[in-house]
Amino acid sequence: MLLENKIALVTGAGQGVGQGIALALAAEGAKVAVTGRTLEKLENTCEQIRERGGDALPLVCDVKSGESLQTTVEAVVAHFGGLNILVNNAQEVPLGTLQQVDEDAFQRGWESGPLATFRLMKLCYPHLKGDGVIVNLASSAGKRWDMTGYGAYAATKEAIRSLTRAAASEWGKDGIRTNVILPHATSPGLAWWIDNNPEEAEAFIASIPQRRIGDCEADIGRYVASLCSDYSAYVNGQSIGLDGGQAYLG
Protein backbone atom coordinates (compact mmCIF):
# COMPACT_ATOMS: atom_id res chain seq x y z
CA MET A 1 0.00 0.00 0.00
CA LEU A 2 1.21 3.49 -0.88
CA LEU A 3 0.73 5.06 2.57
CA GLU A 4 1.28 2.22 5.01
CA ASN A 5 2.16 3.47 8.51
CA LYS A 6 1.43 7.09 7.55
CA ILE A 7 -0.80 9.26 9.71
CA ALA A 8 -3.14 11.78 8.11
CA LEU A 9 -5.32 14.64 9.32
CA VAL A 10 -8.18 15.61 7.01
CA THR A 11 -10.45 18.56 7.80
CA GLY A 12 -14.08 18.59 6.71
CA ALA A 13 -14.02 14.82 6.29
CA GLY A 14 -17.58 14.10 7.36
CA GLN A 15 -18.89 14.33 3.80
CA GLY A 16 -18.06 15.23 0.22
CA VAL A 17 -14.51 15.74 -0.97
CA GLY A 18 -13.02 15.49 2.53
CA GLN A 19 -14.71 12.16 3.09
CA GLY A 20 -13.57 10.90 -0.31
CA ILE A 21 -9.99 11.86 0.48
CA ALA A 22 -10.13 10.24 3.93
CA LEU A 23 -11.47 7.00 2.46
CA ALA A 24 -8.82 6.93 -0.25
CA LEU A 25 -5.95 7.64 2.16
CA ALA A 26 -7.16 4.87 4.46
CA ALA A 27 -7.46 2.47 1.53
CA GLU A 28 -3.74 3.00 0.92
CA GLY A 29 -2.87 2.16 4.52
CA ALA A 30 -2.88 5.55 6.25
CA LYS A 31 -4.33 6.01 9.71
CA VAL A 32 -6.73 8.92 9.37
CA ALA A 33 -7.89 11.57 11.83
CA VAL A 34 -11.29 12.63 10.51
CA THR A 35 -12.28 16.15 11.59
CA GLY A 36 -15.32 18.36 11.13
CA ARG A 37 -18.13 20.06 13.00
CA THR A 38 -20.69 17.22 13.17
CA LEU A 39 -19.72 14.14 15.17
CA GLU A 40 -22.36 11.92 13.56
CA LYS A 41 -20.94 12.56 10.09
CA LEU A 42 -17.39 11.98 11.30
CA GLU A 43 -18.35 8.69 12.91
CA ASN A 44 -19.99 7.62 9.65
CA THR A 45 -16.76 8.23 7.74
CA CYS A 46 -14.74 6.41 10.39
CA GLU A 47 -17.15 3.47 10.32
CA GLN A 48 -16.71 3.18 6.55
CA ILE A 49 -12.93 3.20 6.99
CA ARG A 50 -13.04 0.55 9.70
CA GLU A 51 -15.38 -1.65 7.67
CA ARG A 52 -12.66 -1.69 5.01
CA GLY A 53 -10.05 -2.66 7.58
CA GLY A 54 -8.60 0.79 8.21
CA ASP A 55 -7.94 2.85 11.32
CA ALA A 56 -9.66 6.19 11.90
CA LEU A 57 -10.24 8.71 14.67
CA PRO A 58 -13.20 11.15 14.69
CA LEU A 59 -12.44 14.59 16.12
CA VAL A 60 -14.92 17.47 16.32
CA CYS A 61 -13.10 20.62 15.23
CA ASP A 62 -14.07 24.19 14.38
CA VAL A 63 -11.47 25.37 11.87
CA LYS A 64 -12.36 29.00 12.60
CA SER A 65 -10.99 28.58 16.13
CA GLY A 66 -7.24 28.60 16.65
CA GLU A 67 -7.70 26.89 20.00
CA SER A 68 -9.78 24.11 18.44
CA LEU A 69 -7.16 23.55 15.74
CA GLN A 70 -4.37 23.29 18.30
CA THR A 71 -6.37 20.86 20.42
CA THR A 72 -7.08 18.75 17.35
CA VAL A 73 -3.44 18.50 16.29
CA GLU A 74 -2.42 17.59 19.82
CA ALA A 75 -5.11 14.88 19.95
CA VAL A 76 -3.98 13.37 16.64
CA VAL A 77 -0.35 13.21 17.70
CA ALA A 78 -1.25 11.82 21.13
CA HIS A 79 -3.50 9.11 19.67
CA PHE A 80 -1.47 7.98 16.66
CA GLY A 81 2.03 9.00 17.77
CA GLY A 82 2.80 11.41 14.97
CA LEU A 83 1.59 13.09 11.79
CA ASN A 84 2.72 12.77 8.17
CA ILE A 85 -0.09 14.17 6.03
CA LEU A 86 -2.26 17.28 6.39
CA VAL A 87 -5.24 17.91 4.11
CA ASN A 88 -6.88 21.33 4.50
CA ASN A 89 -10.31 20.78 2.99
CA ALA A 90 -12.93 22.38 5.27
CA GLN A 91 -14.16 25.86 4.39
CA GLU A 92 -17.31 27.93 4.53
CA VAL A 93 -18.02 29.36 1.09
CA PRO A 94 -18.99 33.04 0.59
CA LEU A 95 -20.97 32.89 -2.66
CA GLY A 96 -22.78 35.79 -4.30
CA THR A 97 -22.09 39.10 -5.96
CA LEU A 98 -20.04 41.69 -4.09
CA GLN A 99 -23.28 43.46 -3.16
CA GLN A 100 -24.85 40.23 -1.90
CA VAL A 101 -21.95 38.93 0.20
CA ASP A 102 -21.90 40.71 3.55
CA GLU A 103 -18.81 41.20 5.68
CA ASP A 104 -19.76 38.43 8.10
CA ALA A 105 -19.97 35.85 5.31
CA PHE A 106 -16.67 37.00 3.82
CA GLN A 107 -15.06 36.93 7.27
CA ARG A 108 -16.26 33.35 7.82
CA GLY A 109 -14.86 32.38 4.44
CA TRP A 110 -11.54 33.97 5.34
CA GLU A 111 -11.34 32.44 8.82
CA SER A 112 -12.33 28.94 7.70
CA GLY A 113 -10.19 29.06 4.54
CA PRO A 114 -6.87 30.94 4.35
CA LEU A 115 -6.55 31.63 8.07
CA ALA A 116 -7.36 28.05 9.07
CA THR A 117 -4.96 26.75 6.42
CA PHE A 118 -2.23 29.10 7.66
CA ARG A 119 -2.79 28.09 11.26
CA LEU A 120 -2.93 24.35 10.65
CA MET A 121 0.15 24.31 8.45
CA LYS A 122 2.13 26.06 11.19
CA LEU A 123 0.72 23.85 13.94
CA CYS A 124 1.56 20.70 11.98
CA TYR A 125 4.97 21.87 10.76
CA PRO A 126 7.03 20.40 13.66
CA HIS A 127 5.41 17.00 13.15
CA LEU A 128 5.65 17.02 9.35
CA LYS A 129 9.37 17.82 9.19
CA GLY A 130 11.36 15.09 7.48
CA ASP A 131 8.73 13.34 5.35
CA GLY A 132 5.56 15.42 5.54
CA VAL A 133 3.00 16.26 2.89
CA ILE A 134 0.44 19.06 2.87
CA VAL A 135 -2.45 19.14 0.40
CA ASN A 136 -4.57 22.28 0.41
CA LEU A 137 -7.79 22.86 -1.51
CA ALA A 138 -8.46 25.82 -3.77
CA SER A 139 -10.79 26.36 -6.71
CA SER A 140 -10.62 27.08 -10.42
CA ALA A 141 -13.19 29.83 -9.69
CA GLY A 142 -10.17 32.11 -9.47
CA LYS A 143 -9.56 31.50 -13.20
CA ARG A 144 -13.10 32.30 -14.40
CA TRP A 145 -13.24 34.89 -17.19
CA ASP A 146 -16.49 36.18 -15.66
CA MET A 147 -16.10 36.56 -11.90
CA THR A 148 -19.69 37.72 -11.34
CA GLY A 149 -20.93 36.05 -8.17
CA TYR A 150 -17.61 34.39 -7.37
CA GLY A 151 -15.30 37.22 -6.32
CA ALA A 152 -15.38 36.67 -2.55
CA TYR A 153 -15.14 32.90 -2.89
CA ALA A 154 -12.29 33.06 -5.39
CA ALA A 155 -10.44 35.59 -3.23
CA THR A 156 -10.31 33.20 -0.28
CA LYS A 157 -9.25 30.30 -2.48
CA GLU A 158 -6.54 32.27 -4.30
CA ALA A 159 -5.10 33.24 -0.90
CA ILE A 160 -4.77 29.53 -0.14
CA ARG A 161 -2.85 29.02 -3.39
CA SER A 162 -0.39 31.75 -2.37
CA LEU A 163 0.10 30.22 1.08
CA THR A 164 0.69 26.85 -0.56
CA ARG A 165 3.40 28.19 -2.82
CA ALA A 166 5.08 29.95 0.11
CA ALA A 167 5.09 26.79 2.23
CA ALA A 168 6.51 24.78 -0.66
CA SER A 169 9.29 27.32 -1.15
CA GLU A 170 10.13 27.75 2.54
CA TRP A 171 9.65 24.22 3.86
CA GLY A 172 10.89 22.08 0.98
CA LYS A 173 14.34 22.03 2.58
CA ASP A 174 12.73 20.63 5.74
CA GLY A 175 11.37 17.61 3.91
CA ILE A 176 7.81 18.93 3.59
CA ARG A 177 6.03 19.00 0.23
CA THR A 178 3.04 21.32 -0.19
CA ASN A 179 0.62 21.29 -3.12
CA VAL A 180 -2.89 22.55 -3.81
CA ILE A 181 -5.65 20.82 -5.75
CA LEU A 182 -8.54 22.53 -7.51
CA PRO A 183 -11.25 19.88 -7.76
CA HIS A 184 -14.67 19.52 -9.33
CA ALA A 185 -16.45 16.81 -7.36
CA THR A 186 -19.91 15.51 -6.61
CA SER A 187 -20.05 16.98 -3.12
CA PRO A 188 -23.22 18.02 -1.24
CA GLY A 189 -22.23 21.65 -1.79
CA LEU A 190 -21.99 21.23 -5.55
CA ALA A 191 -25.23 19.24 -5.61
CA TRP A 192 -26.95 22.18 -3.88
CA TRP A 193 -25.47 24.60 -6.41
CA ILE A 194 -26.63 22.47 -9.34
CA ASP A 195 -30.14 22.22 -7.92
CA ASN A 196 -30.34 25.97 -7.41
CA ASN A 197 -28.63 27.00 -10.67
CA PRO A 198 -29.73 24.39 -13.24
CA GLU A 199 -29.05 26.43 -16.39
CA GLU A 200 -25.62 27.59 -15.23
CA ALA A 201 -24.85 24.06 -14.04
CA GLU A 202 -25.72 22.61 -17.44
CA ALA A 203 -23.37 25.07 -19.14
CA PHE A 204 -20.72 24.38 -16.50
CA ILE A 205 -20.74 20.62 -17.10
CA ALA A 206 -20.75 21.17 -20.87
CA SER A 207 -17.55 23.21 -20.48
CA ILE A 208 -15.72 20.23 -18.93
CA PRO A 209 -13.93 18.34 -21.73
CA GLN A 210 -14.76 14.99 -20.10
CA ARG A 211 -18.40 16.09 -19.67
CA ARG A 212 -18.71 14.89 -16.10
CA ILE A 213 -18.03 15.97 -12.53
CA GLY A 214 -15.47 13.96 -10.58
CA ASP A 215 -16.22 11.38 -7.90
CA CYS A 216 -15.09 12.43 -4.42
CA GLU A 217 -13.17 9.23 -3.73
CA ALA A 218 -12.37 7.68 -7.10
CA ASP A 219 -11.28 10.85 -8.89
CA ILE A 220 -10.22 13.22 -6.11
CA GLY A 221 -9.30 11.02 -3.16
CA ARG A 222 -7.22 8.52 -5.09
CA TYR A 223 -5.24 11.27 -6.73
CA VAL A 224 -4.54 12.86 -3.35
CA ALA A 225 -3.37 9.49 -2.04
CA SER A 226 -0.92 9.25 -4.93
CA LEU A 227 0.17 12.85 -4.39
CA CYS A 228 0.97 12.02 -0.76
CA SER A 229 3.00 8.94 -1.71
CA ASP A 230 6.60 8.45 -2.78
CA TYR A 231 5.38 8.26 -6.38
CA SER A 232 5.01 12.05 -6.18
CA ALA A 233 8.16 12.71 -4.18
CA TYR A 234 9.33 15.48 -6.54
CA VAL A 235 5.99 17.28 -6.84
CA ASN A 236 6.03 20.46 -4.76
CA GLY A 237 4.40 23.90 -4.90
CA GLN A 238 1.96 23.00 -7.65
CA SER A 239 -1.65 24.01 -8.33
CA ILE A 240 -3.26 20.90 -9.80
CA GLY A 241 -6.65 21.05 -11.48
CA LEU A 242 -8.72 17.92 -10.87
CA ASP A 243 -11.49 19.12 -13.13
CA GLY A 244 -11.65 16.99 -16.25
CA GLY A 245 -9.55 19.55 -18.16
CA GLN A 246 -11.83 22.55 -17.69
CA ALA A 247 -9.50 25.21 -16.27
CA TYR A 248 -6.19 26.34 -17.70
CA LEU A 249 -3.94 27.20 -14.76
CA GLY A 250 -1.00 28.70 -16.62
Is 153 an active-site residue? Answer: yes
3-state secondary structure of 35: strand
The SS3 call for residue 85 is strand
Strands (E) in 28-81, as ranges, are 31-36, 56-60
One-letter amino acid for residue 247 of the chain: A
Distance in angstroms (rounded) separating the CA atoms of residues 74 and 69: 9
Q: Does residue 181 contact residue 224 with C-beta atoms inside 8 Å? A: yes
- List, as own/partner pairs, every contact residues 221-226 make where C-beta atoms lie below 8 angstroms and the sequence separation is at least 24, other chains included: 221/17, 221/20, 221/21, 221/22, 221/23, 221/24, 221/25, 222/24, 223/181, 224/21, 224/24, 224/25, 224/87, 224/135, 224/181, 225/2, 225/3, 225/21, 225/24, 225/25, 225/27, 225/28, 225/30, 226/2
Q: Active-site residue among 153, 223, 234, 248?
A: 153
Q: Hey, which residues are catalytic here?
A: 153
